[in-house]
Structure 1
């Protein structure tokens, strides 16, 4: 089966699309979008008049600007591809997709969702428990050669919902140093959203027990996740706790300074759902401890629903 992904180049949307599409095609064709597709760009003016071969059997899209591009691609295909979108869409667009997957935190605001809607847990992604376990021995040999417990700290950046004020940063640095003081190896991974000043604060904490990626060279993110015995993750991300939970290891969420907005309500609901309803995460209150949960594999689960629907059709 030939799968395409259609999304903007942001890491969050791209990893969702690829995580699902790679369940069908190990190397999906990527259509990376630079902006909205104007309505007049149809027919002879369409950027998709000539599609690369082989044409898609399945298109997985994500992000608000993607649907118009997807529909323009689909109308140029010799055989209509199966269309999947990983985000809520407006009513008219929803009718033209075969399946739409929306986060549980988004579904709560949709009254009487159409039959092609399905809830998803957090965000699908490209990590799998099997691949991480295979990588784990080499990752621990590289980053924790002395052995002992490893805590991986995943750091995002300011958003419309959360801010990194000085007390927040100081608390995060103190937690990192406390883990090292307890004899743990600490692996700290800033993200693309981490501003330089926050990255520099994190780099200042480096020691023989604390490794911080300086955002230069190859990103060791997968190795950091594979090596972890537990996680501390800042609250500004949906994808990072979703990826960490794939391991089945303890995931603690670090609170941030709040910025009043609609996004804050969404994120707070999302984290309450992960912790209180699903039991996947815990609020960080100064210590790391073990607890058990059934690790989700959302990309594989979503792919199963797609396969079932394609067979029914």
Structure 2
């Protein structure tokens, strides 16, 4: 099946779109956006009118607020209307243009009466799978933790509207990382694309013989770090990082940050409480790492199955 993804070039939105679309097409065509499409760019004035390219998509998977008008324009320009899926609540009046809209549990709670085309999703879909990570685990551990022993992956994001990294937070984070090393664990620390220079420089300064921080030179070892880990410490500012870590089925501990009261803070706090208390996927970090069991989610595959079922019900599922 021919799939297109439509989103801005941010890693977070792109990986969600690709994670779902690749269950339909191993190499989806990517439409990367640099802004919203003006309302007046419809019909023959649309940049996609009669220029969608061949072959046309059978399914469009989009993410991000920029994407909705672009998807509507692409679908209108196609000779055969593609099945349209958006991975985020639609708040610009175009929600009825999509066959399915997937809203994260922490977003859906704020929608009293979700439209009929809305479906629930857990956290953020992504491109990682347990099978993929297990296949590279042995080589990843041999490369990044050759001394053997337990491995902790520390995944660090950056300041947001909900959280900040103040001095007290950095002191606690440093103590946690150094504590893992003192316990004989190998620490593989990975900054994200959102990690600002000052926080990145601070993280580099925490290195020791048992602490390895990716210095952003060479190929990003993030997949290897996740594959090699026996447990995770993930900063609280991310939805994607704990979603990806939980794919492994290994313990995921969420590191608390200094909160900034407001709507975003409440949203993130609800998300993490849901992951921990309701779903049992993560645990708040309280100074120690320990084992616990849970059923690892495979959200991109589950979402793809929901889409296939809906397409089959409508008669839109083609070989």
Q: TM-score, normalised by structure 1?
A: 0.99
* SS of the residue 1:142 aligns to: helix
Q: Superposition pairs for residues 1-313 of structure 1, below 5 Å?
A: 1-49=1-49, 50-90=51-91, 92-313=93-314
Name which of structure 1's ranges 131-140 and 193-202 shifts more when overlaid on structure 2.
Answer: 193-202
Partner deviation per Cα, 1:148-170 (whole Å, 9 max, x = no partner): 00000000000000000011111
User: SS where residue 94 of structure 2 aligns?
Assistant: helix
CA distance in 1, matches of 2:109, 2:41: 35
Instruction: Give the whole-Å Cα distance in 1 for the aligned partners of 2:119 and 2:161.
Output: 26
Q: What CA distance in whole angstroms lies between the structure 1 residues aligned with 2:43 and 2:218? A: 43
Count matched residues: 313
Shift of 1:116: 1.1
What stretches of structure 2 of length at least 5 have no aligned partner? 315-319
Give the whole-Å Cα distance in 2 for the aligned partners of 1:8 and 1:96: 19
Quote the offset at 1:89 in angstroms: 0.8
| Superposition deviation, residue 40 in structure 1 | 1.6
Q: CA deviation at 1:51?
A: 1.2
Q: Which stretch of structure 1 is more off in the superposition, 38-47 or 178-187? A: 38-47
Deviation at 1:92, TM superposition (A): 3.5
Could you list the runs of 5+ residues in structure 1 that have no partner in the other structure? none
In the alignment, the residues of structure 1 paired with residue 97 and residue 44 of structure 2 have an alpha-carbon distance, to the nearest angstrom, of 22
Shift of 1:216: 2.0
* Higher deviation after alignment, 76-85 or 87-96: 87-96
Query: Which whole-Å CA distance do the structure 2 matches of 1:127 and 1:87 have between them?
Result: 19
Indicate the SS of the match to 2:77.
coil
- Alpha-carbon offset, residue 44 of structure 1: 3.1
Looking at structure 2, the residues matched to 199 and 67 of structure 1 have their Cα atoms a distance apart, in angstroms, of: 34
CA distance in 2, matches of 1:77, 1:234: 43
String of CA shifts for 1:281-313, please: whole Å, max 9, x gaps: 000000000000000000000000000000011
